[in-house]
């Protein structure tokens, strides 16, 4: 649904399922870069003031994998991070309308994957990164996730 890839692991007997999504989060590296996240060890993603992005953040679960993307400078996916704390009230918001999450670096990609490359690849034409290009927190389908990882790491 909503075009996001989801793995649904059904736990037999328990009658419940766990949905895992993949995401892409943009950051301007001169403000907060991959290296900054690594240096901090864990980062708080707050200050988002767009409802679609917020709703994506609220759908995130601990352990969800995230492509960390550099906008403006580099314009490429640089690494993989993981959600470490699910959505909570954005500390920078007085009204309580907005949410934040926390995330930890997992690893840097063996090589970066540029926006140019993504745009040129028909297999990635449906990515929200392209179809909703101004959205700072977007969903990544499982197939897109796998495909990009293969590009970066073979």
What is the contact surface with DNA in residues (CB under 7 A)? Answer: 26, 28, 49-52, 71-72, 75, 115-116, 119, 132-136
| Of 116, 113, 135, 4, residue with least CA distance to 67 | 113
From CA 107, how far away is CA 92, in angstroms rounded?
A: 28
Nearest approach in angstroms of CB 70 to DNA is 8
Give Cβ neighbours of residue 135 (< 8 Å, ≥ 6 apart).
50, 52, 53, 128
Give Cβ neighbours of residue 73 (< 8 Å, ≥ 6 apart).
28, 29, 30
Give Cβ neighbours of residue 142 (< 8 Å, ≥ 6 apart).
5, 6, 7, 22
Nearest approach in angstroms of CB 12 to DNA is 40
Q: Measured from the CB atom, is 10 or 55 closer to DNA?
A: 55
Q: Measured from the CB atom, is 52 or 84 closer to DNA?
A: 52
Q: Measured from the CB atom, is 72 or 89 closer to DNA?
A: 72
Nearest approach in angstroms of CB 114 to DNA is 8
Nearest approach in angstroms of CB 71 to DNA is 4
Q: Measured from the CB atom, is 104 or 132 closer to DNA?
A: 132
Q: Measured from the CB atom, is 7 or 126 closer to DNA?
A: 126
Work out the number of other CB atoms within 10 angstroms of the CB of residue 111: 13
Nearest approach in angstroms of CB 15 to DNA is 37
Beta bridge partners of 26: 69
């Amino acid at each position: 649904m909503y075009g996001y890839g989801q793995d649904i692991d059904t736990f037999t007997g328990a009658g419940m399922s766990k949905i895992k999504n993949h995401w892409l989060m943009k950051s301007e590296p001169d403000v907060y870069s991959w290296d900054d996240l690594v240096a901090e060890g864990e980062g708080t993603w707050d200050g988002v003031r767009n409802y679609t992005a917020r709703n994506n953040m609220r759908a995130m679960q601990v352990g969800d994998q995230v492509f960390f993307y550099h906008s403006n400078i580099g314009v490429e996916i640089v690494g993989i991070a993981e959600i470490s704390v699910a959505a909570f009230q954005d500390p920078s918001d007085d009204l309580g309308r907005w949410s934040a999450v926390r995330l930890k670096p997992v690893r840097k990609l063996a090589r970066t994957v540029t926006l140019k490359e993504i745009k040129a690849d028909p297999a990635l034409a449906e990515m929200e990164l392209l179809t909703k290009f101004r959205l700072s927190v977007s969903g990544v389908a499982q197939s897109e996730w796998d495909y990009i990882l293969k590009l970066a790491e073979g």
